[in-house]
Amino acid sequence: MNFDSRELWAPVYNRAFNDIFAAEPQHERWTFPGGRASCKSSFISLCVVLLVVMFPRYNAVIVRKYAKTLRQSVFEQIVWAIKALHLPIMQGNKGAGFKIPKSRTAALPIIYRRRNGDEQSILFVGLDDPEKGKSIKTSSGYIAILWIEEKTEVEPDDLHNFKLSALRGGSRFFMFESFNPPSATRHWCNAELRENDPRRMIVHTTYLDIPEEKRLAWLGETLLHDIENTKQYNRRAYENIFLGKATGTGRTVFENVRLEEITEEQIDSWGGETWQGIDWGYFPDPYAYGSMHYDARTQTLYIWDELYLWKHGNEAAFEKTAEHMKAHGMSIYEDRQTADSAEPKSVADFRSWGGNTRGAYKGRGSRDAGYKWLQGLRAIVIDAKRAPHAADEFTLYEYEIDRRTGEILEGYPEGQPDHFIALTRYASEHEWRHAGA
């Protein structure tokens, strides 16, 4: 098999690649913490596929916390790797190569069939069902390869138990771990990075490790713009999100945030019962719009959509929001948006163009009351792919400290990015005001 590694991964990964495919690897565990957009998942997926092709007895299993996230993440990543390596894909049930299931709703096994008829499996498992980990079976060989994607999602005990069930029956194992380090230094994944494990190689990577001439093609113009904008206007977020540094201090305001995929099926089940909020801005503060759903029975807020605009006047922002809402099955003319009432002209402009836009209540103590209600929810679930800025704001929002005494200051912080947090307060005001928060 011939390929040009320079066209598939950044040189920073060469050390790990050489170790993984050495005749006698020096490690059996390769941990890839790092910033967003460092292409670590792409590299791991290529290694998984190559190991299966090169070693007839090896099977692989890839896990995330939630089974529903597998199909649109690691499954598609493995398919990408197969195609990037120009490996044969079976058409029908004859011949040799990779058999990729057509189901769009489940991450079914990907089978590699050799010319002699032997088959190997790449399995996908969600750790939200512990019983699945106990019943993994392969038709031949053993599970030699384990990839834990988004390791920060899982609980350490669940992961430990799964390893005991899956990794057995062979002489050599390859375990890959990938995640973006949480801001909190006390998070178990960050703490584990500080432990000495001679059988582990840690490869910390960022988007800066991608050759400059490849960044536009591999990452895209939109993502590169977002990186530079974050770097300029929110240095701490930039360091955590894109440089993969644990910048937190243990003073997180919203400790009930969970970053999880929100599926189309979930959104459809809400029957259009969503709340919309707007926070006005132009530059350097953005215009921010977001949509969410509240489940009163479970006291869970689901944040599933956002739109951030820079240097857009009111008319341009109205048109972009109308297009965005229509693309997501909503109407700016019918679905209510609750906006920051500190800019009455902006509210009036949207209303004059037909928008169902209302100014938010901003009485004394309203900010504290709204934030207190959000803190008291059982969970704030944010889809970080659909609403990345919302995820960043909620997870990085921290109490300030007195630099002289080191004590935590009372009251919610000022000056930290909170555009989506603010619009969430506006959108949910009828709930927290009614609750007497």
Q: Are residues 76 and 140 in the same domain?
A: yes
Average pLDDT, the chain: 91
Burial 160-180 (b: 16+ CB within 10 A, else e): eebbeebbeeeeebbbbbbbb
Strand order in the sheet with 257-259: 257-259, 379-382, 300-309, 287-295, 275-279, 337-339, 357-359
| 428 and 368 fall within a common domain | yes
| Alpha helices per DSSP H over 108-220 | 130-134, 156-166, 188-193, 212-219
- 262 and 144 housed in the same domain: no
Q: Are residues 102 and 167 in the same domain?
A: yes
Residue 239 covered by a domain:
no
Q: Do residues 261 and 141 share a domain? A: no
Q: What are phi and psi of 281, to 5 degrees?
A: -175, 165
What letter represents residue 241's amino acid?
I
118 with 58: CB under 8 angstroms?
A: no
C-alpha to C-alpha distance for 310 and 293, rounded to whole angstroms? 26
**Given this model, what pLDDT does residue 130 score?**
64
Considering the domain architecture, whether residues 68 and 187 belong to the same structural domain is answered as yes
Task: Evaluate whether 118 touches 128 at the Cβ level (below 8 Å).
Answer: no
Quick one: pLDDT at residue 132?
Answer: 65
My answer on whether 424 and 281 are in the same domain is yes
DSSP secondary structure letter of residue 75: I
338 and 281 both lie in a single domain: yes
What's the pTM? 0.67
- Higher-confidence residue of 381 and 130: namely 381
Residue 357 lies in a domain: yes
Inside any domain, residue 223: no
End-to-end CA gap in the chain: 64
Is 41 inside a domain boundary?
Answer: yes
pLDDT at 301 over 90: yes
Task: For residue 285, give the nearest of 307, 303, 305, 311 by alpha carbon.
Answer: 311
Residue 436: is its pLDDT beyond 50? no
Q: Among residues of the chain, what percentage have pLDDT more than 70?
A: 97
- CATH for 345: 3.30.420.280
Would residue 314 count as lying in a domain?
yes
Domain containing 24 equals 5-215
Q: How far is CA 432 from CA 48, 279, 423, in A?
A: 48, 18, 14
Give the pairing of strands 300-309 and 275-279: unpaired
User: Is 115:96 a contact under the CB 8 Å cutoff?
Assistant: yes
Looking at the fold, whether 79 and 170 belong to one and the same domain comes out as: yes
Kind plus residue range of the DSSP H or E element containing 123: strand 119-126
The closest alpha carbon to 295, from 258, 271, 270, belongs to 270
406 shares a domain with 328: yes
CATH number for the domain spanning 28: value is 3.40.50.300
| Domain match, 270 and 386 both | yes
Is 362 a residue whose pLDDT tops 90?
no
A 10 A CB-CB count for 6 gives: 11
324/307 Cα distance (integer angstroms): 8
- pLDDT single digits (tens) 176-205: 999 998 877 767 898 899 888 999 999 999
Domain count, the chain: 2
Which residue has 């920051």 as its token pair? 340
- In which band, very low, low, confident or very high, does the pLDDT at 437 lie, cut at 50, 70 and 90? very low
Task: Classify residue 237: in a domain, yes or no.
Answer: no
Token pair recorded at residue 259:
């970053």
209 and 262 in a single domain? The answer is: no
